[in-house]
């Protein structure tokens, strides 16, 4: 086997590994429950469209948490 074949197998293995990591991360984002301290990431989908100064924030922050 030449070095080109090793590179091709390595590239394929790395691509498969990164696809598995990507899909597991996406599954982790959508499977965490809000009750368990997870976030609702679907509420952040319009953050780029609703960015005027008069728009309501995506998540409300209270001063009690800072103290």
- Inside any domain, residue 42: yes
- Inside any domain, residue 27: yes
Average pLDDT over residues 45-64: 74
- Distance, in Å, from the CA atom of 14 to the CA atom of 4, rounded to the nearest integer, reads 15
How many percent of the chain have pLDDT more than 70? 76
Buried residues in 25-51 as b, exposed as e (16+ CB within 10 A): eeeeeeeeeeeeeeeeeeeeeeeeeee
- Total domains, the chain: 1
- Inside any domain, residue 8: no
Q: Tell me, yes or no, if the pTM score tops 0.75.
A: no
> Residue 4 is inside which H or E element, if any?
helix 3-31
Residues 58, 47: contact at Cβ < 8 Å? yes
Per-residue model confidence as pLDDT tens digits over 5-20: 999 999 999 999 999 9
Average pLDDT over residues 22-49: 76
The domain of 49 spans 23-55
């Amino acid at each position: 086997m030449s070095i080109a074949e090793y590179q091709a197998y390595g590239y394929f293995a790395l691509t498969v590994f990164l696809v598995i990591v990507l899909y597991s991360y996406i599954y982790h984002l959508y499977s965490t429950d809000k009750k368990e301290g997870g976030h609702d990431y679907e509420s952040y989908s319009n953050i780029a469209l609703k960015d005027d100064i008069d728009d309501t924030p995506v998540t409300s922050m209270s001063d009690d948490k800072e103290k």
